[in-house]
């Protein structure tokens, strides 16, 4: 059984809607157990085979809580190497946050990034939610096949 974390933040609910649809996609894949969480204890991160982060873009940046979590992972040398990573988020006009997250996952933590970031402008419509489900399903399939 593989463990899959969807960690998200959402101020006005748009990224939360995405996160729930990503979770639905992950649940379509056998052999993968998913936790959808707003907060995670630092020491629990090592238990996951895949860590997918959902954050909206505010002020051209990721949100403070996620930034702090990544800083703590780096300071405490928590090993995330080769875990599957992914990022998504709602945005209004520039949407930098998911890309920034993937860069840190890849370059700082040496995680395995297999999907481009998924961005949806403001509230996800039904086609957007389908994209979220497909995104979750694809990452879960790859996670389930990993050694
Ligand atoms: C104060 C403020 C700053 C924002 N800054 C950005 C920004 O720099 N780039 C962008 O693409 N969207 C920006 N947005 C739009 C949000 O990303 C957008 O409303 C998104 O849907 C919020 O997602 P959430 O409901 O998950 O919090 C901003 C919104 C607010 C209210």
- Closest ligand 1 atom to the C-alpha of 13? 25
Which domains does the chain show, CATH number per domain?
2-145 (3.40.50.360)
Distance 46 CA to ligand 1 centre (A): 30
Confidence at residue 147, expressed as pLDDT on a 0 to 100 scale: 79
Query: Which comes out higher in pLDDT, residue 135 or 146?
Result: 135
**What mean pLDDT comes out for the span 28-37?**
98
> Global pTM?
0.97
- What lies within 8 Å, CB to CB, of 108 at 6+ separation is 70, 74
Q: pLDDT grade, residue 5 (50/70/90)?
A: very high
What is the mean pLDDT of the segment spanning 4-29?
98
Q: Rounded CA gap, 147 and 133, in Å?
A: 24
Q: According to the model, what pLDDT value does residue 8 have?
A: 98
For residue 18, the ligand 1 atom closest to its alpha carbon is 26
Ligand 1 near 135 CB (within 6 A):
no
What pLDDT, on the 0 to 100 scale, is given for residue 114?
87
Identify which of 51, 56, 47, 14 has the alpha carbon closest to the alpha carbon of residue 36: 51
Question: Which pLDDT does position 118 carry in this prediction?
Answer: 98
Atom of ligand 1 nearest to the CA of 59: 8
Tens of pLDDT, residues 37-62: 999 999 999 999 999 999 999 999 99
Indicate whether residue 99 lines ligand 1 (CB < 6 A). Answer: no
CA–CA separation, 144 vs 134, rounded Å? 15
CB 58 less than 6 A from any atom of ligand 1: yes
Residue nearest atom 12 in ligand 1 by C-alpha distance: 92
For 83-130, how does the pLDDT look when each residue is reduced to its tens digit (9 = 90+)? 999 999 999 999 999 999 999 999 999 999 989 999 999 999 999 999
């Amino acid at each position: 059984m593989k463990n899959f974390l969807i960690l998200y933040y959402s101020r006005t609910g748009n990224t939360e809607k995405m996160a729930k649809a990503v979770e639905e996609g992950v649940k379509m894949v056998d052999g993968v157990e998913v936790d959808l969480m707003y907060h995670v204890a630092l020491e629990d991160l090592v238990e996951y085979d895949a860590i997918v982060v959902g954050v909206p873009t505010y002020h051209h940046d990721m949100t403070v809580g996620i930034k702090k979590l990544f800083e703590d992972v780096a300071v405490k040398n928590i090993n995330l190497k080769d875990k599957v990573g992914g990022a998504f988020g709602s945005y209004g006009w520039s949407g930098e946050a998911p890309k920034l997250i993937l860069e840190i996952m890849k370059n700082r933590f040496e995680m395995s990034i297999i999907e481009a970031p998924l961005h949806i402008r403001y509230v996800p419509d039904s086609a957007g939610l389908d994209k979220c489900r497909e995104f979750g399903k694809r990452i879960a399939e790859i996670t389930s096949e990993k050694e």
